[in-house]
Amino acid sequence: MLDIQRIRTDFPILGREVYGRPLVYLDNAATTQKPRCVVDAMTDEYLNVNANVHRGVHYLSQQATDLMEQARETVRRFIGARSTAEVVFTRGTTESINLVASSFGQAFLGEGDEVVITEMEHHSNIVPWQLLRERTGIKIKVCPITDEGRLDLEAFVRLLSSHTRLVSVTAVSNVLGTVNPIKEIIAIAHAHDVPVLIDAAQAAPHMPINVQELDCDFLALSGHKVYGPTGIGVLYGKEALLEQMPPYMGGGEMIGKVSFEHTTWNELPYKFEAGTPDYVAATGLARALDYVTSIGIDEIEAYEHQLGTYAYEQLMQIEGMNIYGPAPSPVVSFNIVSPSLQGRADGGLIHHLDLGTLLDRLGIAVRTGHHCAEPLMHRLGIEGTVRASFALYNSREEVDSLCDAIRRVATMF
């Protein structure tokens, strides 16, 4: 069992107050807090090692380059990639998916070709394919979800056709907390010779990832959702595919030779890393992954499962509670029906923004709105939800504080 109180001391921000109340931070699906070791590692590099990477013969540049490539190796181990050539640093999951849409799209997709996504996708796994559709005329096919919030696998199989060129699916819904059977999805797609991109932004902090065991073709994740800094993320891609894809951006570092007549590209992964990278953030990401590994991702998964179960049980005891999606999960999206508001067209739901705003005044940090998943909200027949999302440093006491605050707020309507 994790020693939560000891772990919490690694995150100084958790000891602060807001509005004179102890902070209860339950917005981890949006971004996680950072342990002191991550901040210290980045501070040390800025103060003692700072120099542009891959471009200098001087000591600091070589030292900074070594730190960045050590960070790439840390990521490789964390996700189980075969080679560091398959680990591309990006600004986050959004840029990683856009890179695939642009570069894989240019190499392999044309008019009439199909990309399959799902109803539960984040906008970052919807809009890039729509932009590609405008440029090339591809078709987007959407796999539905069941009323319980799970992916309809039978419908998924029916969507695959001789024109399907890519499946792009989230591993874990950022709204419903649904854990998709991605290994099965990958196997089904590969049986049709269709490559698969996995959005692992919500999976990386909560469960083990091994891209070779999954056999996914691409995988994207964000540093700031796994206790690392913002502005850094990862695209994993099978080396054979990355070799065939054109660069995403042009500029320094991604080139082999440049003339006004012709340019050649650098080797992997640098072909996709144009310009000066955020090498300090790469160090921060590596330290965050080391931190998670030192605690144990299996232990984190088990603890968060228990915490999610407890949260679901306690929340469901609140009068008027509506929870969306299967349980338990580290992500809980909900709305509250107020008896005094019943009879309205919305069924008497307390507006999620009102509920979240009042919870904030009680020190409870949650997220409200559509969570960058408007099509999913349309499927659920609502405008938005309140979302409480847990991390390894959250406690049962904080769940109790959330429930007490919800009850108090609900009496105001």
Q: Active-site residues: which are they?
A: 372
Residue pair 222/229 in contact (Cβ under 8 Å)? The answer is no
Distances in whole angstroms, Cα of residue 67 to Cα of each of 41, 45, 71, 287 = 11, 9, 6, 11
CA distances from 143 to 115, 117, 118, 134 (A): 11, 6, 4, 21
Q: Are 188 and 196 within 8 A, CB to CB? A: no
11 C-beta neighbours (distance < 10 Å), count: 19
- Cβ distance 64 to 53 under 8 Å? yes
CA angle 56, 59, 64 (to 5 degrees): 70
Asked if residues 163 and 192 have their Cβ atoms less than 8 Å apart, the reply is: no
Tell me the pairing of strands 233-237 and 255-258. unpaired
Distance separating alpha carbons of residues 26 and 367, to the nearest angstrom: 8
Distances (CA, A) of 260 to 12, 35, 248, 263: 53, 47, 20, 8
Buried b (16+ CB within 10 A) or exposed e, 24-62: bbbbbbebbbbbebbeebbeebeeebebebbeeeeeebe
